[in-house]
Structure 1
Amino acid sequence: MDKIDYEILKELLIDCKQPVKQIAEKVNLSLSPVHERIRKMEKNGIIENYSVIVKLSELNFKLMVFMQIKLKQHQENLFEELEKEIKCFGEVLDGYFIAGDFDVILKVILKDMADYNDFILKRISKLTMIDNIKSSFVIKNILDEKNTNDILRPINLGVLINQNSKDY
């Protein structure tokens, strides 16, 4: 990867649907070398795929929550079971096993506090391996200039639409 590759990558991150011709003009190369560089980045796994960024607030999902979870015990089977369960929650946009006072941190998108209450009481608190949950609510994303906040995986969108189909 050289400086031009990084410039091409930056342009694709800004708008992956822009024509290669437009990218070529921005990096001062002709069409063919830019197209070849993009193909090489795809082949080498630098570009894994192209995706859509969804502005969830426009779909009425306005409450972003970071949940820190402490497990009752540190056993491999509990971590595996939690991971399996969490992957089924469409509201969970991202999740990590972490070191420190808590074992897991989840990034969760919900409509409002009532939705949060339902998620806590009817869904996540049913997971018996969880000992404690601490939630922090996002006021504003300070790094995302477009304030889009999230990249959805297909499971997120499917579950969110199914749970909230009455709104569509």
Structure 2
Amino acid sequence: MENLDKTDLQILKHLQENSNINTKDLASKLFLTVTPVYERIKRLERDGFITKYVALLDRKKMNRGMTVFCNVRLKEHAKNVGSNFVKDIVALPEIIECYNIAGDYDFMLKILVQDMASYQDFVMNKLSTIENIGNTNSIFVMGEIKYSTALEF
């Protein structure tokens, strides 16, 4: 963050709140003209501070209202085994996040499905077909207390 000044940070804050804001409106909020704001945004993109722009969808309206965290322990830990597991996990659209973790388990998956029946189908017909899974532990989200994609600074 050492290359970012106060204006850069304000731009990033506004873009996190609404990445669809046009440059003219953003410049107005920052009391600047359009050209320097545009150039700063392009620099922030080029330097990798802004990696992508997305639309956040309502999970319930998209029939993905149930969130499950599933911890996975592998039977073996050889490099090719882990690589194959990751390749298989990335191919499953129900899994929206996957983390390699330390502790009792090797991976933590964030899975979005419609309901318990959908999760059962996912486990029985997709997750259980992946080789080298030793065991799993599913944690079902009863209520979402805090959800944010914004980084605070």
The answer for the alignment partner of 1:160 in structure 2 is none
| CA distance in 2 between partners of 1:115 and 1:39 (Å) | 42
Aligned with 1:107: secondary structure? strand
Deviations 1:99-133 (A, max 9, x none): 10000100000000000001111111112300111
Q: Give every structure 1 segment of 4 or more consecutive aligned residues whose post-TM-superposition deviation is greater than 4 Å.
A: none
Mapped partners of 1:33, 1:143: distance in 2? 35
Would you say 1:46 and 2:49 are equivalent positions? yes
Q: Percent identity?
A: 35
Amino acid at match of 2:132: M
**Hey, what's the Cα distance between the residues in 2 that align with 1:128 and 1:18?**
45
Give the letter aligned to residue 105 of structure 1.
M
Q: 2:25 aligns with which of 13, 22, 26?
A: 22
Q: How many residues align?
A: 146
**Could you report, residue by residue, the CA deviation over 1:34-89 in whole angstroms, capped at 9, with x for unpaired residues?**
11111111111211221111111111211100000011121111101100100110
Q: Which runs of 5+ in 1 are unaligned?
A: 150-168
CA distance in 1, matches of 2:130, 2:39: 49
Unaligned runs of 5+ in 2: none
Counterpart for residue 66 of structure 2: 63
Superposed counterparts of 1:137-152, under 5 Å: 137-144=140-147
Q: Which residue of 2 aligns with 1:5?
A: 8
Report the TM-score, using the length of structure 1 for normalisation.
0.82
Offset, 1:144: 2.2
